[in-house]
Structure 1
């Protein structure tokens, strides 16, 4: 299994779009976080204006939303290349067991997404605090449970989001469908659905956001743990459906 994981990791490393996508996620998220923090300073310094619900910690984790579409793209690209290039048959010759093949895929995507999240989320949080200036946290306040717990939750959220995108790509056997559906979901669709029904809080992105947005209250009363379990259930369901379809169909 370890050899398979190494081989899959090396294969991903040869795809130019993977490091480019990872770098884009990092740069876009961190730059937008700094800009958002700096932009908010004007409102915070104006005594005639009130910024409802502002906390430097909450604002720091708003940056997670800036990069979530990028994590969807990363998850899709990590598994979609073989369907687009026709390299799937060659990969299955190296790992004939389709169940094992998908398990390796899932582990490598999780490692890739987790690494990108581990680097980007804290960097974006710090960039936000720098942008906020005197309204932000100082360095001594970072290693507290109020920061560390949602930080870990945000990293997990991004990792699960990439896994969800990867599983949807394997199920669809193309890159366009999961990109359109999931990017639309995380950018706007789930928000509009929440205006129509409280059940929108069971969507993977809204449920998962409870992991890092402590001030966000679920309309269904979900806790952060329950939100995580809902998102995990989505990921497991998509991968089970993808596995069932992948095992039964020809490469």
Structure 2
């Protein structure tokens, strides 16, 4: 399994879309904080809100990275070669899921640390232990949402055998399509991009699901799509 993870990690960082997505997930939140016009004496609630809003803007990078990571197997017709080096499809799929988890966690941590540094420099606030615990808890849940979104996008890549289609589905949902659908039907709040809105909102917005319900709804999407895609991946012929 270790060798499979090393191979998948090399494959991830040798593909431009994946690297671009990771860089975007780290840099975009940082640029948001550097360019945001906020008072320098913000309280704990305001700083926590700024940090979560910044992390929310990292979603497009995660979508591009995860879609590119799995989609390259189909766009470059590389899956046949990959299966020659790793014949067990289940082991290959598990390696991809685990590798995606590890990369998103480290990307989220890097983005969060940079956000901490910027907020610490920008705001004259006493960073108490209780505030740090609350901040770390909120950021941990945000990174968990990143991970689940990455798995959803990866599953869509397998289902559609494409790099472009999952990105073309998930990016518009994140950039406003899901909000447009929400104005038409309240059921849109169960979409994976809207379900966790309150993880990134301080204070919570009552029209969306609360953060725990949102995480569970998003996790339900993960279970559904990963199960279907794993089943198809196990039995589908190689193109």
Q: TM-score range by the shorter chain?
A: 0.7 to 0.9
> How far off its partner does 1:212 sit?
4.1
Distance in 2, Cα, partners of 1:55 & 1:143:
12
Distance in 1, Cα, partners of 2:179 & 2:220:
20
Contact preservation (8 Å) 2:30, 2:115: yes
Residue number in structure 1 paired with 2:157: 169
Once superposed, what is the RMSD of the aligned Cα atoms? 2.4
Contact preservation (8 Å) 2:20, 2:61: no
Q: Normalised by the size of structure 2, how large is the TM-score? A: 0.87
Distance in 2, Cα, partners of 1:143 & 1:98:
45
Distance in 1, Cα, partners of 2:20 & 2:164:
19
Residue number in structure 1 paired with 2:97: 106
Matches within 5 A, 1:1-251: 1-36=1-36, 39-41=37-39, 55-128=46-119, 130-131=121-122, 133-134=123-124, 137-140=125-128, 144-219=132-207, 222-251=209-238
Contact preservation (8 Å) 2:53, 2:200: no
Provide structure 2 residue ranges, at least 5 long, that are not aligned to the other structure: none
Cα shift readout 1:2-49 (whole Å, capped 9, x = no counterpart): 22112211222333443333223212221122212xx1339x99xxxx
Provide structure 1 residue ranges, at least 5 long, that are not aligned to the other structure: 46-53
Cα shift readout 1:229-251 (whole Å, capped 9, x = no counterpart): 11111112111121222223211
Contact preservation (8 Å) 1:210, 1:228: no
| Ranges of 4+ aligned residues in structure 1 off by more than 6 Å | none
Q: Normalised by the size of structure 1, how large is the TM-score? A: 0.84
